[in-house]
């Protein structure tokens, strides 16, 4: 049975704010923050330090998402009218830019607070980032955007705000995948094997996350007109560098400083 989705993107019809997308966006950050806080507590780290990290991550994500959209999806327009880049209320965000912004935020944060290496922090932050990404995709669903190709499946959704055609709910495909990857990342973190080498868990999460993004793009309508006729769309092409970095992190040899000590009675310490 086809689902008909006709939700007003505004929470209150008479008011421009808040919007459902914004609530899911903020909720994703809040959920990721409390998840990361619990990880810090488990690792015996001072959770109060996360307040400063949160500022870096929020700014890095929003700036990265906005610049990613403006410079990668519509560069000619924004190069002619650069001040419009600041008009974030008009919409236009790219998740690849957001993830790059998170990595930049980690680098900037660890420069001023170098107690933990950047990859040590990235292993843990990537778990929270996948949780936030899943929440943001649910926000896209509430916003009736990033819709999929027409579908005859019983799970197809008619986005009444767009048209009357049953379509793949690709936002939910992505959301379920990202939330599952976040849960898997947390399980692997608790087991400890993937965190023995800083960056390895982050690499695995990047491969799974951007691999899932690449797969779901095959069911999604083009986001911009120039993607028509392309073998791989922009979402898939932009995933390639992250997949390569993830593979490097996952399969690289462990730095000597991060290898366990096996010189005492044959046991690790």
Q: Which of 199, 33, 185, 193 is nearest to 118 (CA)?
A: 199
Radius of gyration of the chain (CA): 20
Asked, for residue 263, whether it belongs to a domain, the answer is no
The answer to whether residue 62 scores a pLDDT higher than 60 is yes
152: helix, strand or coil:
coil
215: confidence class by pLDDT, cuts 50, 70, 90: very high
Residue 207 tokens read as 């491969």
If you average pLDDT over residues 201-222, what whole number do you get?
A: 95
**Dmax (CA) of the chain:** 72
User: ω into residue 18 within 30 of 0, thus cis?
Assistant: yes
More confident residue, 202 or 49: 202
79: helix, strand or coil:
helix
Share of the chain above pLDDT 90, in %: 53
Average of per-residue pLDDT values in the chain = 87
Number of domains forming the structure of the chain: 1
150: helix, strand or coil:
strand
If you average pLDDT over residues 45-67, what whole number do you get?
A: 87
Asked, for residue 267, whether it belongs to a domain, the answer is no
Q: Which of 200, 202, 210, 201 is nearest to 243 (CA)?
A: 210
Q: What is the pLDDT of residues 139-191, one digit of tens each?
A: 999 999 999 999 999 999 999 999 999 999 999 999 999 999 999 999 999 99
pTM beyond 0.75: yes
Which contacts of 81-89 are long-range, i.e. CB under 8 A and separated by 24 or more positions? 88/62
255: confidence class by pLDDT, cuts 50, 70, 90: low
Share of the chain above pLDDT 70, in %: 91
Asked, for residue 264, whether it belongs to a domain, the answer is no
Asked, for residue 269, whether it belongs to a domain, the answer is no
Residue 156 tokens read as 């197809």
Cβ pair 70, 78 in contact under 8 A? yes
Q: Which domain holds residue 71?
A: 3-10+18-257
């Amino acid at each position: 049975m086809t689902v008909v989705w006709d939700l007003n993107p505004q929470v209150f019809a008479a008011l421009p704010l808040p919007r459902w997308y914004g609530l899911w966006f903020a909720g994703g950050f809040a959920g990721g923050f409390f998840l990361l806080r619990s990880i810090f507590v488990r690792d015996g780290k001072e959770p109060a330090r996360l307040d400063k990290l949160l500022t870096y991550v929020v700014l890095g994500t929003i700036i990265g998402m906005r610049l990613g959209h403006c410079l990668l999806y519509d560069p000619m327009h924004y190069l002619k009218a650069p001040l419009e880049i600041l008009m974030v209320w008009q919409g236009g965000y790219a998740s690849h830019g957001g993830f790059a912004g998170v990595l930049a935020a980690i680098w900037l944060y660890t420069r001023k607070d170098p107690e933990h290496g950047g990859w040590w922090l990235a292993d843990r932050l990537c778990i929270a980032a996948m949780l936030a990404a899943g929440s943001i995709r649910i926000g896209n669903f509430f916003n009736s955007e990033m819709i999929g190709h027409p579908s005859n499946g019983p799970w197809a959704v008619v986005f009444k705000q767009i048209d009357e055609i049953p379509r793949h709910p690709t936002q939910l495909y992505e959301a379920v995948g990202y939330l599952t990857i976040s849960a898997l990342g947390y399980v692997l973190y608790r087991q400890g094997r993937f965190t023995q080498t800083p960056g390895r868990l982050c690499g695995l999460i990047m491969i799974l996350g951007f691999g899932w993004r690449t797969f779901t793009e095959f069911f999604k309508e083009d986001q911009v007109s120039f993607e028509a006729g392309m073998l791989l769309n922009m979402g898939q092409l932009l995933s390639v560098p992250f997949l390569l970095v993830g593979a490097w992190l996952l399969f690289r040899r462990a730095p000597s400083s991060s290898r366990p000590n096996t010189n005492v009675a044959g046991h690790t310490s």
